[in-house]
Amino acid sequence: MTFSFEAIANVSDSYTVQRILERYAETLGGLRSAEALSSLSIEGSQVQDGVSYQFLMRKKRPNSIRYRLTAGETSIVCGSNGRQGWQRTMVGTEVTIGDLSTDQLSALSHEADFDSPLIRHLEKPWNQISLVGNEQLGGSYVHVLEVNNLRKPFVRYYLDPRSGLVLKRVQINPDGTFGLETQYRDYREIDGYRFAFEVENRIGDQLVSLVSIETINVNPGLLNLYFDKPNN
């Protein structure tokens, strides 16, 4: 009898997960609309370590990205064309250009990905999604989904049960502890897509960065060479 009840519970959880993911896809306008999002240009400000930066991030499918931070006379640009990652730093008139480390390139490549593990999850056998339960976030309860990558906990998503939007994302370290926590606020609709215009990153009680977005352009014309390593 115990096995039977467990089997019924598993079927019920799988159905609930499927419904949550379908609702999430609806917030993106459906799978076809999500895939039609081929490039983005996002501009705003970012506060990190007490310093305020202006930023410009542009990315293009499948995995190209270019990210610029500017504060005073200092400008840092990181980019990847999907094969090579690079960084260009300018302080005053002095310019240095170098390659990104493996860890830096991995983090940048993750940022370049347009589709979260919650999209077309059945086509990604290396990921398994389970329902952790419901948890209070702010003044309401949210659905908590955990993504396991190759059977290891990878990340948790906290989704609003009414809107289907992701309100929080928490990375899970290899030892099972929680790492970077990202909260998404102030969602607005741009060309049929919903974007969070305020993004806060924390590790525990420590604020890592606070991002305030000013403008978002959907599917701007971006040439591939824009993401290549610059010569100067």
Predicted confidence band of residue 123 (pLDDT cuts 50, 70, 90)? confident
**In angstroms, rounded to a whole number, what is the distance separating the alpha carbons of residues 186 and 11?**
35
* Distances 132 to 4, 15, 32, 185, 229 between C-alpha atoms, Å: 20, 14, 28, 22, 42
Over the stretch 126-172, which tens digit does the pLDDT of each residue have? 788 999 999 999 888 999 999 988 777 789 999 999 999 999 999 99
Plot region of 83 (φ>0 → left; ψ -120 to 50 → alpha; else → beta): alpha
Domain ranges of the chain: 2-227
Structure pTM? 0.85
Q: Which residues contact 98 (CB under 8 A, 6 or more apart)?
A: 86, 87
Over the stretch 56-72, which tens digit does the pLDDT of each residue have? 999 999 999 999 999 99
Architecture of domain 2-227: Clam (2.50)
Q: How buried is 221 (Cβ within 10 angstroms: 0-12 exposed, 13-18 middle, 19+ buried)?
A: exposed
**In angstroms, rounded to a whole number, what is the distance separating the alpha carbons of residues 177 and 153?**
10
User: Please, are residues 55 and 46 in contact by the beta-carbon 8 Å criterion?
Assistant: yes
